[in-house]
Structure 1
């Protein structure tokens, strides 16, 4: 079984059979891949070399996942997420690390260095599973989705000082100050290479590649950028995933982001599947049999403690319902914790038995995650009910004719609705931010509904085919694209109007056949020019 190709064939065959069977019971594919790994590790005797090769290949699944996530969050978008990343993420990692370190030291009698490593590792969550499921559910751009992403991004950054801490604990020669200085210098170099060079080079590079008019060459160049950025980050002591995420953020500023995202999705999903298979291969049945009750107790305790920490710290910044959903999303322990425990075990900071118990505990928490995320709204309803008024209003609001559908209730949407009111035009507002909906209802707005206009069933529900016009006033470029695609799917006869902030957004939806695209920046510029010309004419008189 040493041959890699034969191993891949067997892995894909078992994964296909298992997932087809599990899908009949609506069980997520992530679970199927993990069980595939468990099956092949028990039936076949994979050599250590094949396992390592498979793990190396699988790691690029997370690399491509983080790259596509980076594509959705440009540098300007990340600036707007400072609070989610550094405040929410910082609180979660700090509080979880401190509490788990204390519990490990006091109740499990671990040495202080070992307790610190365990505490840091348990504070991390599964970027791969959580982001995959949030993308599939369409929740990545919801309120709790943004918070979850922010926390996960900070955790990825926190892996760097965690690995540095292990180096400090085990280093006999290098001083702490020397290690810190080297890390800071490396961070500056990575920033310069990926951000500065990428900003001025990547778009020109893709312009040159697309001149060849070859899809194969374009795809190869994209893979080159992703792997190249990952290798640069890894070379300077950071994770592969951090490099790929930064590369994605850089490309998000270019006109190629949507094309690249569409091309990479098949590679990402296949490699992610292999990654989850390798997770399943790490489950040791003998350890489960011997320490089953202890492992079960650890899984439940760790997940509940993490959820409580996140909920209590988040409830001061957001609604209770969003806080509980965010807590449920990141209550598991993730793949980076496996890497930390592996490194700690190699450096004799934890013994082999503790390492194996923690590996099985982490994997079981990851297995539970897709089920939790798939039912996150139902679980949240147990603690904090969704406003019944909003659900009932959405259910009965059908039967419109010759109305205007306004997608988005931001600044532009509010002004537009005011104009429609003055002209006595029938309208409905679709807004997916519950805070904006609640605020509007409190002010007496009766035609606003909590709904995601990117879903086909929503526009059908509000009779898009009988509408006078559909006007989109959404600022988020990714959400704008999704809504525009949905409107376009109803055919060319829909009177669609989309407002965009700039030329880049206008180009991103140019292929969708939207009837009217209004560029706010250009419109304002034209109005100003007209007004100046009018002043000039008057002054000449």
Structure 2
């Protein structure tokens, strides 16, 4: 028992160490964390053979996929799911059937498999990896885009298809005595399990979380969240469906709950750790012996399968109304085999549809297609961006104005309206084809271009610009533009959108002409209007707004000299004594000297707020 526990701890340390090294390294070099986890798994498992039970770890790590589907369900309200029904049951079903038919024909004619084996191989390979695809969508921030929703609909139908596919394995098994009764029974059980989950979710989940929340026990809320996810997943597994489907349905049922944000915060850390473990387990389960014995067959089969699925995905998504760009992105995201293929191929081998050697070969092929997915998806995205750039107008004909705006974010859109309304010409460049198309519908004249390239800035007329307004969304991109302009066009006046307080200090240190935090003025006005709504006079609310603005500026000046944590006494964290905000004339205190109001005298403000004023880890924006 002691040795077993010791081995468990050692394996845990190896897995955590591999994740800590590989994931940041691969992310740093631009290959993504998924390939990092896979590489770590391959090194720990089949290469160094430090951990040999990769398949057991893979089964446990599927909980990461389960938790991922639960979190996605939390973001999808039932009415949204209803709107997606055509994509789920139309596009999803078509993809499984058409891809399964094409891949089955390849197995029958090219691999010389029997009819039953070809059917199972084709349909098993038609499934895609939920874990890989959704993790990539999450990394790209594309889950709520058009192609992200199409991809998710296809994956959701594939989860639903597990029961009929496993039933088909039993029907096609040699000497099978199934007369269809067991299929009907399995289907009935599955429908009953879904109905039971929907009833429990509708009438019991919210009261359960309300009772636990009223106790104030945060640990109990975490335990309850995990219990609900795992219970729903287990119920679906017992009914023959995928665990991920059960977790997804539980998430959808809680999507309109007042506890959804708390649940997301509680589940997210477990999801991240277990999903990383899943990708590592996929790498550890790779059989290098099978790869060595069948390397030529695998080298042909892997690209053939991925190319076939990509073609089917592209034309089907086009047929269901997606534009070219979205269809191309879907085809680049879902060409791999999926983790449920492991289940189907193992079941088929155990029932004699094909040999265990064929099952191992298929598992190796699926694993390699999964490993190649991040690379294929990244290449697809780059090709699409290149195609979009070629479609955009980079001639900059007519460019050159008093103001050159780099980046047409929401911040930039508002600023541009002020400039145009004030009679100024504005040349706007942006790197997002979608944003340019959307803005063009409102009559804005925008040029496609990358503001971090010197030749683009020259073509856009930076030499004629009196001011360059940098309104890019990400501070990294903003810093690149600022550094380039200051190095190549040092006399240019720079007005820059800052991301947060730390970014503001960084920009001031660079010596830009003007900077403004993206949330400062909107937050001040929002606070003033709220103060007026609860009864404050308009003049008093405006004076308070001016006070906070002044204290914020004073704090920035102190931070620029004494460091980021200086000036914490300028942060007001409790109500001040309501006094006139205008300094009274010739008002004297007991000592005979003129005194100022608390709002006008920073020293008084410091005394009244010192014991409560602290700087947050984020610097209070």
User: What TM-score do the two structures reach when normalised by structure 2?
Assistant: 0.66
Cα distance in 1 between the residues matched to 2:118 and 2:431:
43
| Preserved contact between residue 389 and residue 448 of structure 2 (Cα < 8 Å) | no
Cα distance in 2 between the residues matched to 1:288 and 1:331:
20
List aligned pairs for 1:232-311, cutoff 5 A.
232-311=235-314
Q: In the alignment, which residue of structure 2 is the partner of 1:166?
A: 169
Shift of 1:303: 0.6
Q: Deviations over 1:82-134 (max 9, x none)?
A: 23222221221111011111111122211111000000011111110110111
Cα distance in 2 between the residues matched to 1:369 and 1:209:
42
SS in 2 for 1:110: coil
Q: In the alignment, which residue of structure 2 is the partner of 1:36?
A: 40
Cα distance in 2 between the residues matched to 1:166 and 1:441:
54
> Is 1:494–2:522 an aligned residue pair?
yes
Q: In the alignment, which residue of structure 1 is the partner of 2:111?
A: 108
Q: In the alignment, which residue of structure 1 is the partner of 2:502?
A: none
Q: Which protein is bigger by CA-based radius of gyration?
A: 2
Count of matched residue positions in the alignment of Structure 1 and Structure 2: 465
From the superposition, tell whether residues 210 and 113 of structure 1 become closer, same or farther in structure 2 (CA, over 3 Å): same
From 7, 11, 16, give the equivalent of 2:20: 16
Shift of 1:379: 2.2
> Is 1:129–2:132 an aligned residue pair?
yes
Q: In the alignment, which residue of structure 1 is the partner of 2:63?
A: 60
Cα distance in 2 between the residues matched to 1:25 and 1:303:
25
From 222, 227, 230, give the equivalent of 1:227: 230
Shift of 1:228: 0.5
Q: In the alignment, which residue of structure 1 is the partner of 2:94?
A: 91
* Higher-helix-fraction structure: 1
Q: Deviations over 1:336-361 (max 9, x none)?
A: 11221121122221212222222221
Shift of 1:285: 1.5
Shift of 1:493: 3.0
Shift of 1:380: 2.3
Cα distance in 1 between the residues matched to 2:473 and 2:286:
39
Q: Which moved more, 1:437-446 or 1:106-115?
A: 437-446
| Preserved contact between residue 404 and residue 425 of structure 1 (Cα < 8 Å) | no
RMSD of aligned C-alpha atoms?
Answer: 4.0
Q: Which moved more, 1:105-114 or 1:282-291?
A: 282-291
| Preserved contact between residue 121 and residue 340 of structure 1 (Cα < 8 Å) | yes
Structure 2 residues without counterparts, runs of 5 or longer: 450-470, 482-494, 500-516, 531-621
| Preserved contact between residue 399 and residue 463 of structure 1 (Cα < 8 Å) | no
Cα distance in 2 between the residues matched to 1:312 and 1:399:
34
From the superposition, tell whether residues 404 and 371 of structure 1 become closer, same or farther in structure 2 (CA, over 3 Å): closer
Cα distance in 1 between the residues matched to 2:395 and 2:254:
39
Cα distance in 2 between the residues matched to 1:399 and 1:242:
41
SS in 1 for 2:322: coil
Q: In the alignment, which residue of structure 2 is the partner of 1:374?
A: 378
From 1, 4, 8, give the equivalent of 1:4: 8
User: What TM-score do the two structures reach when normalised by structure 1?
Assistant: 0.75
Structure 1 residues without counterparts, runs of 5 or longer: 408-416, 467-488, 499-512, 517-541
Q: In the alignment, which residue of structure 1 is the partner of 2:214?
A: 211
Shift of 1:310: 1.0
From the superposition, tell whether residues 194 and 493 of structure 1 become closer, same or farther in structure 2 (CA, over 3 Å): same
Q: In the alignment, which residue of structure 1 is the partner of 2:324?
A: 320
From the superposition, tell whether residues 108 and 455 of structure 1 become closer, same or farther in structure 2 (CA, over 3 Å): same
| Preserved contact between residue 332 and residue 369 of structure 1 (Cα < 8 Å) | yes
| Preserved contact between residue 235 and residue 246 of structure 2 (Cα < 8 Å) | yes
SS in 1 for 2:335: coil
Shift of 1:247: 0.5
From the superposition, tell whether residues 428 and 126 of structure 1 become closer, same or farther in structure 2 (CA, over 3 Å): farther
Shift of 1:442: 5.4
| Preserved contact between residue 394 and residue 447 of structure 2 (Cα < 8 Å) | no
Q: In the alignment, which residue of structure 2 is the partner of 1:410?
A: none
Q: Which moved more, 1:286-295 or 1:136-145?
A: 286-295
| Preserved contact between residue 231 and residue 240 of structure 1 (Cα < 8 Å) | yes
From the superposition, tell whether residues 459 and 240 of structure 1 become closer, same or farther in structure 2 (CA, over 3 Å): same
Q: In the alignment, which residue of structure 2 is the partner of 1:186?
A: 189
From the superposition, tell whether residues 216 and 297 of structure 1 become closer, same or farther in structure 2 (CA, over 3 Å): same
Q: In the alignment, which residue of structure 1 is the partner of 2:341?
A: 337
> Is 1:361–2:365 an aligned residue pair?
yes
